[in-house]
Every structure is written in structure tokens, then in C-alpha cells.
Amino acid sequence: MTAPSAHDVVVIGGGVTGAGIARDLSLRGLSVLLLEKGDWGAGTSGSSSWMIHGGPRYLEFDWDTTRLSCVDAGHIVTIARNLVYRVVFLIPVMPHDRNNIERMETAMEVYDRFQPLKHAHPHRRLTGQEALQAEPGLSPDVIAAVTMEEWGVDPHRLVYANVQDAVAHGARALNHTRVTELVKDGGKVLGVRYRTADGATSEARARAVVNATGPWSPELGAMAGVDIRLRPAKGIHIVYPHRISNFSISAESVDGRDLLMVAHAGFTLLGTTDDDFYGDLDSVDVLEDEVDYLLQGFERVFPRIRDYRPVRTTTGVRPTLFKWRKYEDELSRRYEVIDHASQDADGFITIAGGKLSMYRLMAEETSDAVCRKLGHQVASTTASRPLPGNESDPEAPAELAARCGISALAAMKLQSRHGTNAEKVLDEGGTSRILCRCEPVTEAELVYAARREQVRTLADAFRRVGVAAGPCAGAACILRTAEVIGRELGWSASQRFDAAREFVRGAWLGRAPVLNQAGWAQEELAQGAMRGLMGFDGSR
């Protein structure tokens, strides 16, 4: 083991919260080491519904969370303009729904008071006929509807933008690096021991250690000898590789829960469940029952939902604060910053609970607690300081496209990930050839991701630039992606094959719960083609 490195703060966990804390503290001039055992945003953050929202549902029992979410959402959509887009919901009222149109509209009138905080528009009420005209896929039984506006975001890029800015301001950030132990001396936490991707172990000393590991925070707490109580709740989504509706749509599940079909920029997320989770956080499976539950709920509102072919599923575990008895859906999304000094773990601070939509505020309050501890009197600037690529207005995609020889769609997608740095990305990669046609992703962007964005696996590339995220799920581009990433990272030919094989296996696991009979036949065909191309005999 090498000699310990020294930092002001070690932040454990590279989800949106940890990345936000690393950025906040670095901008305040502290030296930060950020450690993530997987990839940036690959935990709960990446498997969220990709929404920056206020949560009108919480108005019924947790008014303050809605208000705080809306206030912070307002900041997030301003500092991350390239990463966000408006998501307009159509909330249909069906026969026998829990809420009639009057109740629904009253709720929206209350929510409208919060909408300006996040730069969103007020609701509109539609007759059944107007709703059907706007959204022909709705059931003809629809009685009336209201609209509601929220924001969509790419959480992987949001997390990475925070990491990138932290690094630009002096932080060290390591993905695929697991904290295995906390270094303690009596009642004081002095640092961490960690293992990097190549198996090397190291030690880092710090004046404060922050536990921002979301649902894993009790595990890290145990390393410090403190008890952190969460009530982890699993949620799943079905992913369609395209839009299947004009609007995002909500529906009521068989047990009266709100389900959402979120029409994101080029794909659709249908979710979500909310169930107490007691299993292994590192191995969370999607069950066919859960898929059926979602489809059953949506079929009543959007009758042809089963005709569409999903491309994968996602699942994550909410880091909800512990509360006895409450029904999962009614649990508060509040957060708590816990200083463990009084529990014999001075120097150790945990941030638990919360939501993606208020990650910046959570990061600010956690950073305030760290600064108080270290006697460092510098205020947070993250509410107004743009994330990388948002410092100025982007040019029109058509202009970038014409200058760089790519399609306007490719330019727009590139800007949505890199903002005003889009051209720099193309320049670095040297070629504007399109590698993934579904998205589309240029080869240059992949090269950039491998050189500058800590992409170490093909799954990292999927998260960073959306390669293989489209309808073909990588069938047409994963081998070429492995070539490009492998060339940059110095992989041998067999390492490139292994990487592609591993990606295909992982993608299959995410797809299996949504394969119907025809889907299995297609899958067999695709797997057969892949075996032929890769010499993949399935035995390893």
C-alpha cells in the first residue's frame, strides 16, 4: 500500500448527492477526494425516473418537500440548461378513479403556486374530447384531464457534470474505486481505505469524511460503528427506445398508486413501483410481476401499451429515511444531514434521504456542515454558478452541424450532453463519423469520453454518451464501440471481445423481464447473430 494521501474532505459515493457535494466543496476552495465504487451515477441516481420535479403527490402529506424541491429544481434547471427539457404530463381522469376532475384540478391549482419556482407553466384543464385529440392513444373512456409541467434530465450527465466541475476546481475523483474501511482512532474518523479498479489498495486521510452513498449509507455507517436507519424502497421502470405518446401520461395502479409514463427526449420510461427492499443492494433484479403490475395500470388508460416493444428495464433503491408503519408511497422524501460526532465518530457526516430534484440543496447543506466543522467560512455558490457547458448560450444545432459535418440531430444530441463544449469534443476525437446510429453518437464523442470522462467499461460509455441506448440495444454498434474504447484504453483484441460480451450479457439481463413470446424469438436471433460475430459460445 502506498503512503496515505491527504485531503480536507473525502466524499464517498459518486451519485448525484456525492458529486454535488464534491463540486460544492471544491468551489469553496477545499481539497476533495471523491470515491465511487462503480461508475458515476450508476446507483440510484441513474435508475431514477429522470425527472427534476416538485412532486405534487407530496403536497398531501409533506408540503415542505414539494416547496424545497421546486425551489431547488429552479436552481438546477438554470445551472444545467443543456441537460434539461420540459416534460408535459397529461393526467387523465377515468371512470372509478380515486379523484374526479374537480379534485384533480384543485390539486393542480395548489401546485400551480409552486410552478413559477421551477420556471414551469400552470396547468390546463381539458375535456375528454380535447384530451383524446391531444393524445389519441388514450382510452376513449377518458372523462377529462389536466396538464402538468415538470422537467426531464439525463441524471448520468448531471452527475458527471458535477464531477467534471469538481475536478476542474482541484478535486480528485476516482470511479470504480470502493471504500473498504474507515480509518478510525478512538472516537475520530481519520480517513478511508479504498481499492481501485486494478485491485490496488490505498489510504486517504481527511479532516472530514462524508458518507453520500444513498441506500448504501447504513453499510458505510457500520464501518464507522454508527447506526443509520433507512427504509430502502425498490422501484423499477420499463424502457421503450422511442416516444410512444405525445405527452407524458399518468395512470392509477390497481392499488391506487400514481404511475407515470414519462416521454423523455427520445425514449419513454414507464414506472414506477415503490416496495420495501431487504435484499442485496448490489444485485437488484426486476421481476416479471412488477412489469405486469405497471402494464396492468397503464392498459386502462393507454390500451395499446402492450403493443410496444420495450428495450430494457431499470431498477434502483430509494434511500428513504426510516419511518415505522407508513405505506411506502407515503414516506417522506425529506433528507437529513447527520454529524456523527456524538456517536463516537467525529469527522464523519452522513447525508441520507432526499431526491434527485433537490440534490444541489442537499449538497449545499452537507457542505455547510463540513465547513462548520473545519472552520472554513466560505459560502456555497452552486445555486447560480453554471455547470460546465452552460456558461454561455449554445449556438443553433444546425450551425454546429454544418460546420462539423454532422447531422442536426447528432449536433443537438451532442449539445444536450456537452452544452457549449460540443465542438471541443468533436475536435478532440478527430472524426465526426457516426458510430451509434440510433442515438446518434459520433466516434469522436466516444474517444473524448474514454480520454477525458473516465469511461473504463462499455457500460460507462452507455451512461456517458448513450451509446447502445436506442432500439438496437447495441446490436449494430457495440463491437465497434469496443474497438474505439479499447484502442483508447489499450485493450487487447480479446479484452475488446470480452468487454462487448459482458455488455451484451448485462443488456440481456435488463431486457429479459420484458420479453414476451415474440421478444424471445427476436432475442434468440439477435444472440445467434452476436455469437457468430463474436465467437460467443455462451460458456464463459
ω into residue 440 within 30 of 0, thus cis? yes
Q: What's the per-residue H, E or C state across 137-171?
A: CCCCCCCEEEEEEEEEECHHHHHHHHHHHHHHCCC
Residue 102 CB, nearest distance to ligand FAD (Å)? 28
Binding span for ligand FAD by CB under 6 A among 31-39, 125-133, 251-259, 406-414:
31-39
Asked whether position 160 contacts ligand FAD by CB under 6 A, the answer is: no
Cβ closest to ligand FAD, residue 366 vs residue 442:
366
- Whole-number Å distance between alpha carbons of 243 and 107: 28
The Cβ of residue 528 has, within 10 Å, a number of other Cβ atoms equal to 11
Please give the backbone phi and psi of residue 65, each rounded to the nearest 5 degrees, phi first: -65, -40
Question: Cα dist. 114→73, 94, 107, 119, 383 in Å?
Answer: 11, 26, 12, 9, 18
- Cα–Cα distances (Å) from 355 to 131, 334, 373, in that order, read 31, 8, 25
d(CA 16, CA 490): 30
Q: Which stretch binds ligand FAD (CB under 6 A): 97-105, 164-172, 317-325, 483-491?
A: 317-325
Site for ligand FAD in 34-53 (CB under 6 A): 35-38, 42-45, 47-51, 53
Q: Which stretch binds ligand FAD (CB under 6 A): 96-104, 212-220, 244-252, 292-300?
A: 212-220
Task: Kindly tell me which of 190 and 435 has the beta carbon lying closer to ligand FAD.
Answer: 190
Question: Of 464 and 501, which CB lies nearer to ligand FAD in the complex structure?
Answer: 464
Measuring CA to CA, which residue among 110, 104, 80 is closest to residue 91? 104
350: left (phi over 0), alpha (psi -120 to 50) or beta: beta
From 12, 30, 79, 91, residue interacting with ligand FAD (rule: CB under 6 A): 12
Residues 258-287 that bind ligand FAD (CB under 6 A): 271-272
**Residue whose C-beta lies closest to ligand FAD:** 15
The DSSP secondary-structure symbol of 481 reads H
Question: Between 237 and 496, whose beta carbon lies closer to ligand FAD?
Answer: 237
* Packing angle, helices 408-418 and 422-429, rounded to 10: 110
Q: At its nearest, how many Å lie between ligand FAD and the CB of residue 429?
A: 27
Contact segment (CB under 6 A) with ligand FAD among 11-19, 21-29, 296-304, 412-420 equals 11-19
Contact 214, 305 (CB under 8 A): no
Contact 243, 84 (CB under 8 A): no
Rank residues 236 and 422 by Cβ distance to ligand FAD and give the closer one: 236
Among 66, 139, 245, 357, binds ligand FAD (CB under 6 A): 357
Cβ within 8 Å of residue 106, ≥6 positions away = none
Q: At 253, which amino acid appears?
A: S
Asked whether position 54 contacts ligand FAD by CB under 6 A, the answer is no
The verdict on 257 binding ligand FAD (CB under 6 A) reads: no
For ligand FAD, which is the closer residue by CB, 22 or 482?
22
Does residue 26 interact with ligand FAD by CB under 6 A?
A: no
Among 11, 18, 27, 164, binds ligand FAD (CB under 6 A): 18
Q: Which of residues 179, 337, 482, 500 is near ligand FAD by CB under 6 A?
A: 179
Q: Determine how β-strand 32-35 pairs with β-strand 172-174.
A: parallel
Among 65, 213, 248, 313, binds ligand FAD (CB under 6 A): 213
Binding of residue 470 to ligand FAD (CB under 6 A): no
Judged by the rule CB under 6 A, the positions of this chain that interact with ligand FAD are 12-18, 35-38, 42-45, 47-51, 53, 178-179, 212-216, 220, 235, 271-272, 316-319, 354-357
